[in-house]
Amino acid sequence: MFASASEMGYDLCVTLCGDCCNYTYRFEMGTKEERAFRTRRCIVEYRSLVITGRSTRVWEAVEVDPTDETKEIGPPVVLRDVWLDHNASTERDIQSLIFSAIEKFGKGDTSLHFQHFSETMKTLILKLIASGDYKKYFLTIECDYQGIMSKEVAPSAVPTRGLFLKDPVFDSSPTPTSSRDPTRQLELTPSHPTSRMYNSKRQYRLVYKEVCSALHDLNSLGNIFLILSDALIGTLRLVCMHFCCRS
């Protein structure tokens, strides 16, 4: 064999549990310290249409003894497993920048930032900053881990659209100007396909203290509006700090 286990697609930091339904993730924390988390259920999985996607999976998990995976040593947590662009900031880095900006904002002149805010919202935001309670609107990162990085794209690589389409696809739906013709071929690619840059990806895994639910699993309209209200307050603070949040 001329390839390592990771080069063949095996992740040595993830092992399948005995029930064949859950996994144990191992985090290398440095100085030979290791933490292990065993999944309990998948909260949400974002299936990517392309191999270069983030492949995000969110699990409910529990910390276990690294030397005995059957021994639980902590409360339930949420574990997020994602592939980031190799040069992208991690969530811990972004959260640290936001917190630093909020603290700096609270100590400066805020009059210009609240020109279009109601007095009630202005008072609420300043009170949250002064007390430090603004952090409750963010998930608490227990730990995170950056894993291996995928290989770079070969210099001679040429993007090929429709590579895995073995046979042409035919549209059997009738059109207003023709009879039902099952041999009419679909347009599979745009006339001017756009090029894109393929960046190397890096594994990134992090554990949150708060156990969350997927939004589509909520069955209470009241809870949904409560979440939207909290999200609005968090977003307004980002606006004050001139942060742009794509989510």
Structure tokens at 181: 């013709």
Q: What percent of the chain has pLDDT over 70?
A: 79
pLDDT at 9: 73
Longest dimension (CA), the chain: 72
Contacting residues for 205 by C-beta, under 8 A, at least 6 apart: 25, 27, 79, 80, 81, 82, 144, 145, 147
Per-residue pLDDT, averaged over 78-96, amounts to 91
Give the tens place of pLDDT for each residue, 179-223: 444 444 444 444 445 566 777 888 999 999 999 888 888 888 888
Q: Which of 65-74, 78-87, 231-240 has the lowest mean pLDDT?
A: 231-240
CB atoms inside a 10 Å sphere around CB 239: 14
Separation of alpha carbons 36 and 73, rounded Å: 10
Statement: residue 52 has pLDDT above 80: no
| CA dist., res. 212 & res. 208, Å (int) | 9
Say what the pTM is. Answer: 0.74
**In Å, what is the CA distance from 124 to each residue of 38, 112, 233?**
39, 17, 9
Cα-based torsion angle of the residue sequence 128, 133, 134, 138 in order, rounded to the nearest 10 degrees: -160
Domain boundaries, the chain: 14-153+193-240
